[in-house]
Amino acid sequence: MQVNGKTARDALLRIDPDRDRITVDGQRVVAQRKVYLMLNKPRGLVTTRDDPEGRGTVYDCLGGLDLPFVAPVGRLDKASEGLLLLSNDTRWANRLLDPASHVAKTYHVQIASVPDEEMLERFRQGSVVDGELLTASSIALLRSGGRTAWLEIVLDEGRYRQIRRLLGAFDIEVLRLIRVAIGGLQLGELAKGKARHLTSDELATLAT
């Protein structure tokens, strides 16, 4: 490999792909274009590239798109739906996932009960599950009817199955779980199973 016409042998050499000219066997190496996607993940797909059990994955939704390799930014479990980001920009993804960034994630959650204000306050106080205190930034009742209700739950950290484990600690069954926003980015009217590129304004929203 050569950098700016000189053979590079130092494994710790710092390279700026936007400024340095890198060649391998005389062929210039060009950085891939950065891609930022939002996907409306359907229920039933796993958030992985390949699944040893042969289940459908979120990559099934990307067929027909001319894309470099992109990776999910965080996860939604198989039974969950909604807004999922994918990108090949690892620095951008790591910043969004860093707990110190406190990027809020908003979910609409259907539960198999109708909680009163006392129960909602217990949810807000959180619960210790497997030695871990699980809480949410906010929990509000959106609507209720019959024997079910919809809650809006906002998290600013991402722990394993956090909402399902929190509600399960109160013997509350989750019927549907849909992520509707990440930071200021809204899922909006994107059809289920469809993906699209983020606009420059949407990227700026996530950067704030």
pLDDT number for residue 11: 54
pTM of the model: 0.84
pLDDT number for residue 20: 60
Pick from 30, 23, 19, 18: nearest CA to 6: 23
Sign (positive/negative) of CA torsion 74, 79, 184, 156?
A: negative
pLDDT number for residue 35: 94
pLDDT number for residue 51: 84
Give me the CATH number covering residue 143.
3.30.70.1560
pLDDT number for residue 28: 61
Q: Token pair of 56, please?
A: 């459908």
Pick from 161, 164, 155, 167: nearest CA to 126: 167
Whether residues 55 and 80 fall in one domain: yes
User: In sequence order, what are the residues at sequence separation of 6 or more whose Cβ sits closer than 8 angstroms to the Cβ of residue 156?
Assistant: 102, 103, 104, 105, 137
For the chain (length 208 residues), average pLDDT per consecutive 10?
A: 67 58 63 88 93 91 87 94 96 90 95 96 94 94 95 90 95 97 95 96 87
Q: Is 77 marked active-site? A: yes
The DSSP bridge partners found for residue 81 are 178
Give me the CATH number covering residue 199.
3.30.70.580
Query: Which entry of 77, 98, 116, 171 is annotated as an active-site residue?
Result: 77
- In the chain, the number of structural domains is 3
pLDDT number for residue 133: 93
